[in-house]
Chains A and B, each alone.
Chain A
């Protein structure tokens, strides 16, 4: 378990492939197919444009002769058209909080929160691309795309963060209507920003999941004695003489934050999940897969 605490673009992709390989292809259900103009590989259980054979139907008046399948028609008296199944691709937008607080890791044996979040994000992207979906990153002003090249671009973009604020907030640049969205963050910053984003998403018919990535130390607060706490960039300081005595209050506040997030998610039809960096990534990915498939 001696993973490096941060990814490089190359390792991020290869490791994500490794995680994603254990999963079946994600075939997201497209409820709002009509709004999407771009074709994907999801069969929509009706005739339309696509590659897969759907049915032969007798030619009707108005059908172009070019549409007639002559091979089928030659076997009988009538004329038949060959219809293909209507296929459409889902768009999955992934947001990863790359703020300073995400780079925290409570122990050398654990990856940082950012690292875990990136792994999960890329794994999700790999599954989606393999299933023919289009994926994109929320903080880039680019539309979602499919294909291996997009994975490469995403990996590079995820590793791109230079200027890290203390706490991150989701700032989706592109949010195609009816797409899926997943936000990874520790959600320790201001909760208002999240509420705004969730509200806007709901307006555009975007559903998805909030994944709260926490270090076990943040969950347990195992500190004692005279302690000078500093934020990750060192900008915020807080000194206590006996850290242990603050534990109860801290845990209460953390629980309150989780409840607030859960409430927000529920109101907008989103899902909320807490993931700890000391537990394996696969259950979180499975959860995401199920959530995205269900919606």
Chain B
């Protein structure tokens, strides 16, 4: 972005007029001759010069000098790029309003920075300030305070995971007495009643709006359509084409969070919406817990999934040979029709199906199984499967469950069944009795036209009534259920087709299947459906789109959950009811993102703070360089460059010969492995910040030098590792400095990191901020560390106890200073049952090596040495500082010894006891 240019002393620019005069003057002066003492002059006397040699200055040299002088003049005129105009010039109170919504989270830090600058300006102008978040309106009167009082509070503000209620805000603004200048940090989304609020603010005083220029992309909850998961993306902001990666997260079979799938959505140029599609196998699809836009950090970029996406796998098995029948007579036809929209169906032989382990197996008139098939089926049901059987002629005619009910039948059956209301029988076809309370079908309305003409009949049994979950008007059971292990077996006493009853033709059939959890509910429930229910939040999203445990948040009413707008009481997240879970997302299924438009009277500014750049130095340097060039050129013209060119040629030759590539045919990975494994090698994580990386390298180099000098550990030069690419297993210890803008590692990197930690590796996290904040305080590095470390497999931590083995692995230490002195160093907590064995708790966990060490003492800076072994950074003051550096190095030695020798020094505490026993 090219900003405006201003001059400190513009009058000086008038000197540029003098340039043509200088041109004329300079042109007349040829380069001065070299004076040379030379005895051979005796032989020169009388020789004549070649006449054609000019004694005028060449034009390009003139131009060079002109440019140099022009640059000097402009430089002295004091050019400033993006001059900072005084924002807060007036007086009177100042109201800083932050939207504080999920949409602001994408550039929250920039907003805070900008607000901080406004506060600074207000502080200088001596104005009173109030900072208000629209998502968290202050109760009571608005209290204006000094800017200094606000300054420490602003960085602690956090965006909320919902949109502000602008109507309420407008009402609140009406209640403010007096006038105030308003700076409004808008999230750029056209929330409802935003115009009213803007008008209210304008009544209050002059209104300026700050709006980020980063585009906002949000993801609506994906839905299941035609076998494919489709999600809608909406954006506001720039209209350039853009590709967005949508990542589906979920649990892998081992129960770990992983990226299950990725898909790319493409915004066409000018298009503000895009669509993403996932075509996933059902078992993968059912595992998805949330979708995320990669690279977007706000709650709108996360869509949680609930049961709506999860489709059960239902296996259909028919007893008869199907292809010989007409479609409508097929025993499976109605089941297929009923389940197709909401479940994944599979058909095939029982043995094949059991391997695929479906959720439900439906047997239409299957009477008997082979022995091993039956055993496998029982095992499957006992493991939680749901077996739904339908009767039919085959079942009625078989001997199954005649004398005793088999495990795969809920009841015993009478021979042959019965037929009612037929041509050869008395009575009318039977209708259904209303479902009793306690039946899973309770509450379903029974259509009048459902009639049963034939059925198999259960033998009376003491358990029959409790197993009956639906019956006919004459009391005979229609559906019976028995549990078996963790699963259950359900028997419909009629056929799955319309042969014996009209039940499969009615909507009731579908609802009954749904109640049996054969299929899932296809659509989001309406408010009426949920009325009267209470849902407990399980996990909620914060403004940044990070899923957090809901803790002890109170439950919400079903109708609110269905359609009340999100608020502090109803956070987006996952809510659990009796038998299912509902997700509430920031973006509704059909919600659109509309960019806010502001009236012309309201000035709108970007979020970026353009620092004024003083160009004086640049111009003066340029002038100096030009003058140097001029000197070189003059030398060259005067023939005095001989030695220089020779030197340059040697240098160039050296450069050409210098780099010799060694080709050993090793891949980069192999070379890294060789490098890292030939010697013990300390490693540090490449953060992307060159300065931090160099400090880490120098720090570990210094530590390696110290180890080399003082211990038998002789490490190779330290290596930087790229978490995304490099194998970590080679390194005993990885030093990980945290920078506030570090990239969150990919899930593949996390997998490697977790493998590394479980394999006995150690990561030293260094937030390097112990001089500004304690552990757990909200420094940017600390917050980043929380984000980075969240997916890591890290045990419970505790501040390093006095008797930790780290205090005595090589040196006896009680402090662990780096460049900063803070006692806040955290290691793996001792097991709760750590005993005091001779005064020391004995740890036997993970070979006694704490997998992580977290602190903020900026150890690398204290360890850092340059190639001559001199310290790079100052530590402390004077002798005390040197002592601190020494202790820091000793801590480093202890650390490496701890990593390499584990709990060896803990074992030492048993030596007296062992000697004692040996003596006996």
**Interface residues, chain A, with chain B CB atoms under 8 Å away:** 100-102, 104, 113, 167, 186, 188-189, 215, 217-218, 221-232, 234, 236-246, 249-250, 253-254, 257
Contact = CB atoms under 8 A, between A and B. Distances in A.
Contact of A104 (B37, B50, B639): B37
Contacts of A236: 41-42, 45
A226 B38 contact: no
Given A101-B39, A186-B39, A241-B55, A228 B50 contact: no
A227 B44 CA distance: 12
A227 B42 contact: no
Contacts of A188: 39-40, 42-43
Given A101-B39, A242-B50, 6 more contacts: A224-B642, A228-B33, A236-B45, A238-B44, A242-B639, A250-B40
A104 B38 contact: yes
A249 B36 CA distance: 18
Nearest to A242: B53
B30 interface: yes
B44 A228 contact: no
A234 B642 CA distance: 25
A229 B35 CA distance: 6
Contacts of A228: 33-36
A257 B32 CA distance: 32
A243 B37 CA distance: 13
Interface of B: 30-45, 47, 49-50, 53, 55, 637-640, 642
Contacts of A240: 44, 47, 49
A63 to B, nearest CB: 64
Given A240-B49, A244-B639, A254 B33 contact: no
A239 B37 contact: no
A227 B53 contact: no
Contact of A229 (B32, B38, B637, B640): B38
A145 to B, nearest CB: 33
A80 to B, nearest CB: 65
Given A231-B37, A238-B41, A250-B40, A245 B642 contact: no
A287 to B, nearest CB: 23
The binding surface of chain B is classed by DSSP as loop
B640 to A, nearest CB: 6
A122 to B, nearest CB: 22
23 contacts: A101-B39, A102-B39, A104-B38, A188-B43, A223-B36, A224-B638, A224-B640, A224-B642, A225-B31, A227-B33, A227-B36, A228-B35, A229-B36, A230-B36, A230-B38, A231-B37, A239-B33, A241-B50, A241-B53, A243-B639, A244-B639, A246-B44, A250-B44
A104 B43 contact: no
A225 B40 CA distance: 17
Shortest beta-carbon contacts, A-B, top 6: A225-B639, A224-B639, A101-B39, A225-B638, A226-B33, A241-B53
Contact of B49 (A223, A232, A242, A253): A242
Nearest to B42: A188
Contacts of B638: 224-226
Contact of A230 (B41, B45, B55): B41
Contacts of A167: 39, 42
Nearest to A225: B639
Nearest to B39: A101
A227 B42 CA distance: 15
B562 to A, nearest CB: 92
B53 A221 contact: no
Contacts of B40: 188, 217-218, 221, 250, 254
Given A238-B44, A250-B47, A254-B43, A225 B640 contact: yes
A215 B45 CA distance: 19
A241 B45 CA distance: 14
Nearest to B53: A241
A241 B55 CA distance: 8
B325 to A, nearest CB: 109
B65 to A, nearest CB: 18
B644 to A, nearest CB: 13
A239 B49 CA distance: 9
A249 B43 CA distance: 9
Given A225-B640, A226-B638, A238-B45, A218 B39 contact: yes
A241 B41 contact: no
A214 B758 CA distance: 81
